[in-house]
Amino acid sequence: MKVLITGSDGFIAKNLIEHLKRDEDTKLYLYNKTDSLDMLGAYVKEVDFIFHLAGVNRPKDAKEFYKGNSDLTKTITNMLIKENKQTPILLSSSTQSELDNDYGKSKLEAEKLLINYAEQTNTNIFIYKLPNVFGKWSKPNYNSVISTWCHNIANDLDIQVNDKNVELNLVYIDDVVNKFIKCLKFPPSIQIIATRPYKGFFSLTIQPIT
């Protein structure tokens, strides 16, 4: 199977790649922000499944949220529709897509674009609303507050807790990756339109009726 992973240099993607590269039956196509849209278009034509993990979460300008999250999703779905392809897509979204901030709004737009693509093409999609993901290769002061705290403690630096009454919803990276791979290897055989919790995060799966 040919699999495209966007955001291939990111925290979640690196962990997913480490698992998938051990499978001799899976050929990986890796795309990140330094690659051209022409390369992305060529990959989209080739692959059988897309892990859309690219995203922007800490830009200098709020406009970058939309460029890196919703706009790129629109580009990918438009490419697929133009090629008349019905390629399943898994999107890494965020629990913040329910919040009124630019990051959340851009993620919600990406979710809606993917749902429209599924409805238009009768194709499987998987949307994961991830909370605070932690684990190996996450960057302090960027990917995970857990990584930040571990880094600070190891370097004898103070840790910051903004609100001691807030309970963090955490999920370990391997649990996320294992769930992602199940969508690739064992897609649902019946129609499912539901949002449900799984180890601290939510997934939305849309499976067309065959």
Q: 94 near 104, Cβ under 8 Å?
A: yes
SS3 percent helix, strand, coil of the chain, rounded to 5, is 40, 20, 40
Which helix (H) or strand (E) element contains residue 95? none
Active site residues: 103
CB atoms within 10 A of CB 22: 8
Burial letters 140-165, b for 16+ CB under 10 A, else e: beebbbbbbbebeeeeeeeeeeeeee
Burial letters 69-94, b for 16+ CB under 10 A, else e: bbbbbbebbebbeeeebebbbbbbbb
Q: 73 near 26, Cβ under 8 Å?
A: no
Residue with tokens 């993901």, as numbered in its chain = 133
